[in-house]
Amino acid sequence: NYILNLMPLRWKIFRIICIVQLLAASVNALEKLFYVFINFSFSNIIGLLLFIAIMLLCILGINLVNNNYPEEPVAGRQKKTFNRLFLLNFVLLTFLFGFIIAEIRSLNQFAGNLGTTFFEIPFSLLLIVLVYIAMLILQLIILYGLYQLRLELYSNFMKRKFEFEKT
């Protein structure tokens, strides 16, 4: 807890973003899992894998901030896991972007069937698109934050090492 008090505000906010994203991804993963059992489709399987990968990356981010900050670099098995999840999330972000486009097209078609515009659709129907957009933005923030965190951990480790050698 002492480290948490010394931690800069940006890493405290990063932890909060990871927790919010973890909650959103877990709800969406449960929804996709439900749909896999009801209506087995490639889209539902990809969605389930996407949200599980997002959850795993959020857990990794929280663990790095909690266990490695301020000066323990990402190394060994943790580095291998970090690299794989980081790359996998970049690939799967294209599917999240695809989900956003598919939802917008679906809602646009729905609006056309009703004889209204996209912006006249009730807010409750737009909610899933807004959640996906928010998750996409948060995921990009998390990916950037993880990159910065890894650089900072390594930099702090090297500073500590050199300071130790000076004494």
pLDDT above 60 for 164: no
Model pTM score? 0.88
Structure confidence at residue 163 (pLDDT): 60
Given a cut of 60, whether residue 11 has pLDDT beyond it is: yes
DSSP secondary structure letters along 50-90: HHHHHHHHHHHHHHIIIIITTT----HHHHHHHHHHHHHHH
Question: Which pLDDT score is estimated for 54?
Answer: 95
**pLDDT tens digits for range 113-153:** 999 988 889 999 899 899 999 999 999 999 999 999 999 99
- Per-residue pLDDT tens digits for 79-104: 999 999 999 988 888 989 999 999 99
